Amino acid sequence: MGALHVNEQNFEAEVTKSDMAVLIDFWAEWCGPCRMMSPVIDAIADELKGKIKVVKVNIDEASGLAEQYNVMSIPTLAVVKRGEVVDVFVGAMPKEALITKLQKYV
């Protein structure tokens, strides 16, 4: 199934009001490293299902969210817990490294 695609309409319900920690992948179609990370993000969404919610935000379609979260370069991965950003990772990384970074939030 992979990550859930969210936009400005469903962001609050899916992210801000989520009971579990949420990993947000800020990405764009034209971004090479983002496309490289896409299968990694989807795999993590499936692997950590029920422990951490994984969503994707296309910054071209939801520029307001990118602005709200101060996304300066992509891919930017933000961890949100109870509506607050608790961690941010910028750039592509191996799946194992990302899972290690997420362990404290699951």
| Residue boundaries of the structural domains of the chain | 4-100
Q: Please indicate whether residue 61 is annotated as part of the active site.
A: no
Greatest C-alpha distance within the chain: 32
Set 3, 21, 22, 31: catalytic member:
31
At 7, the pLDDT band (50, 70, 90 cuts) reads very high
pLDDT at residue 19, rounded to an integer: 93
> Is the torsion defined by CA of 81, 35, 45, 9 positive or negative?
positive
Instruction: Provide the mean pLDDT of the chain.
Output: 96
Set 3, 24, 34, 41: catalytic member:
34
Asked whether residue 57 carries a pLDDT value surpassing 80, the answer given is yes
Average pLDDT over every residue of 11-33: 96
Average pLDDT over every residue of 40-53: 96
Q: How far apart are the first and last CA of the chain?
A: 19
Architecture in CATH for domain 4-100: 3-Layer(aba) Sandwich (3.40)
Query: How far apart are the C-alpha atoms of 74 and 31, rounded to whole Å?
Result: 7
At 81, the pLDDT band (50, 70, 90 cuts) reads very high
At 50, the pLDDT band (50, 70, 90 cuts) reads very high
Q: Please indicate whether residue 31 is annotated as part of the active site.
A: yes
Task: Show Cβ contacts of residue 4 under 8 Å, excluding neighbours closer than 6 positions.
Answer: 14, 45, 53, 54, 55, 56
Q: What percent of the chain clears pLDDT 90, i.e. is strictly above it?
A: 98
How many Cβ atoms from other residues are within 10 Å of residue 47's Cβ?
13
pLDDT at residue 1, rounded to an integer: 77
